[in-house]
């Protein structure tokens, strides 16, 4: 993406507002996006942890799946429980290829009345929609929503701020939501909100008509608790929260079990469940789940060989994406997929994949940074506890 010219980049409905606010714009997922505002990444990160930050995530893909067979059809593409998700609730999902690799991670919401709202990653949205249409387009309507923008309001003051503008949203708990109006009277804006996000903090994602996005963003930014936040702080926040970034921490070569995302696979889709398997790569993934649970026999090509872990550097040296990980004997054992100096924890943190023998928390390994070893310790995730509102 870095090689794309400015003329090649798409612009979100908030592009002129970002420029007005002095944002430094960069190419991201085919769009011109704000990486940071004049206050800087660290200030934006801390503001989100302490108050409320507003993110433009309109590059993400939004679509609906509609029809009486939509839930059952969608469930054939993912190792998660779609059919059992209650109306008004949201769940994390994983689109898989035939080898069990992750094509994309996504969020889906049961709107009721045979309608499912889906949000996918920006860089993957065209391929995702084509994949979904090709496989289940004969069983339900697949309706892209290109005229919708998406904003995220995140932080401990997000709920009180949004409730001031849209009384009643405070009733939503984590991974629930619904249709609301935001603002006063005739000038209010129709929106669809879910109480979720990408920072580990309480907050909301807000789907709104692109034509209304700038007015809504200005209304939110007029609230004293709210400041605009760019991609830089979004990345540091999600890493501290232990959340995967598609293309870095997960991709078509990683399975959900290797990525430590087994929690996203409900019992009903696992071995012995009422709807066991039936998703791409099921034999491999179910075998890996057995191995991960410590009940496997010998390792074979189906079972688990590596795992995503958290890492903390024992010296104050940031360890970046792509850094090779070694044992203290010099054997290559893995690679860092995300890494930086965590502003909240104030220490270098990372995530990466390591051989299973080195995946236990407390294990010491080393990263090779500019040819020199940096000692690291495997850590539990998240690095910063989540503050989701569960009621």
Q: Between these two residues, 7 and 230, which has the higher pLDDT value? A: 230
Q: Is the pLDDT of residue 6 over 80?
A: no
Is 168 part of a structural domain of the chain?
Answer: yes
Is 98 part of a structural domain of the chain?
Answer: no
What pLDDT, in 10s, does the model give residues 341-368?
999 999 999 999 999 999 999 999 999 9
Is 274 part of a structural domain of the chain?
Answer: no
Banded model confidence at residue 8, pLDDT cuts 50, 70, 90: confident
Is 379 part of a structural domain of the chain?
Answer: no
Q: Is the pLDDT of residue 3 over 50?
A: no
Instruction: Output the average pLDDT for the chain.
Output: 95
Phi, psi of 303 (to 5 degrees): -90, 180
What does the pLDDT read at residue 5? 58
Q: What residues make up the domain containing 204? A: 6-57+148-240
CATH number for the domain spanning 225: value is 3.30.1360.120
Could you give the percent of the chain with pLDDT greater than 70?
Answer: 96
Banded model confidence at residue 295, pLDDT cuts 50, 70, 90: very low
Banded model confidence at residue 296, pLDDT cuts 50, 70, 90: very low
Is 373 part of a structural domain of the chain?
Answer: no
What pLDDT, in 10s, does the model give residues 88-100?
999 999 999 999 9
Q: Is the pLDDT of residue 2 over 80?
A: no
- Comparing CA positions, the residue from 132, 109, 131 lying closest to residue 119 is 109
Average pLDDT over residues 316-333: 97
Q: Is the pLDDT of residue 374 over 80?
A: yes
Q: How far apart are CA 372 and CA 332, in angstroms?
A: 14
Q: How many domains does the chain have?
A: 1
What does the pLDDT read at residue 204? 98
Q: How far apart are CA 292 and CA 356, in angstroms?
A: 10
Q: How far apart are CA 172 and CA 177, in angstroms?
A: 6
Is 99 part of a structural domain of the chain?
Answer: no
What does the pLDDT read at residue 113? 97
Q: How far apart are CA 179 and CA 88, in angstroms?
A: 10
Is 320 part of a structural domain of the chain?
Answer: no
Average pLDDT over residues 26-44: 97
What pLDDT, in 10s, does the model give residues 134-183?
999 999 999 999 999 999 999 999 999 999 999 999 999 999 999 999 99
What does the pLDDT read at residue 299? 41
Tell me the residue length of the chain.
391
Is 125 part of a structural domain of the chain?
Answer: no
Q: Is the pLDDT of residue 302 over 60?
A: no
């Amino acid at each position: 993406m870095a090689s794309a010219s400015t003329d090649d980049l798409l612009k979100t409905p908030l592009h002129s507002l970002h420029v007005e606010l002095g944002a430094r714009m960069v190419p991201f997922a085919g769009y011109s996006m704000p990486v940071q505002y004049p206050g800087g990444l660290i200030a934006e990160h801390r503001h989100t942890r302490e108050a409320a930050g507003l993110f433009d995530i309109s590059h993400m893909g939004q679509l609906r799946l509609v029809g009486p067979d939509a839930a059952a059809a969608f469930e054939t593409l993912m190792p998660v429980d779609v059919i059992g998700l209650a109306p008004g609730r949201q769940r994390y999902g994983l689109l898989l290829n035939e080898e069990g690799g992750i094509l994309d991670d996504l969020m889906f919401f049961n709107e009721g009345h045979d309608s499912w709202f889906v949000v996918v990653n920006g860089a993957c949205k065209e391929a995702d929609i084509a994949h979904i249409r090709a496989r289940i387009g004969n069983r339900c309507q697949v309706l892209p929503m290109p005229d919708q923008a998406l904003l995220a309001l995140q932080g401990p003051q997000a709920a009180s701020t949004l409730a001031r503008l849209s009384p009643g949203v405070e009733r939503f708990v984590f991974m629930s939501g619904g249709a609301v109006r935001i603002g006063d009277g005739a000038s209010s804006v129709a929106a669809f909100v879910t109480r979720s996000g990408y920072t580990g903090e309480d907050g909301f994602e807000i789907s709104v008509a692109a034509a209304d996005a700038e007015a809504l963003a200005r209304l939110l930014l007029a609230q004293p608790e709210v400041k605009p936040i760019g991609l830089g702080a979004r990345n540091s926040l999600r890493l501290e929260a232990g959340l995967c970034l598609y293309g870095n921490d997960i991709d078509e070569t990683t399975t959900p079990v290797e990525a430590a995302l087994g929690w996203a696979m409900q019992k009903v889709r696992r071995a012995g469940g009422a709807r066991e398997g039936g998703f791409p790569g099921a034999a491999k993934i179910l075998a890996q789940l057995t191995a991960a649970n410590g009940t496997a026999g010998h390792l074979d090509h189906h079972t688990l060989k590596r795992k995503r872990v958290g890492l903390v550097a024992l010296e104050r040296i940031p360890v970046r994406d792509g850094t090779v990980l070694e044992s203290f004997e010099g054997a290559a054992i893995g690679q860092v997929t995300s890494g930086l100096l965590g502003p909240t924890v104030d220490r270098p943190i990372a995530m990466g994949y390591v051989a299973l023998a080195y995946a236990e928390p407390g294990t010491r390994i080393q990263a090779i940074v500019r040819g020199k070893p940096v000692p690291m310790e495997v850590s539990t995730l998240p690095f910063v506890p989540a503050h989701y509102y569960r009621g």
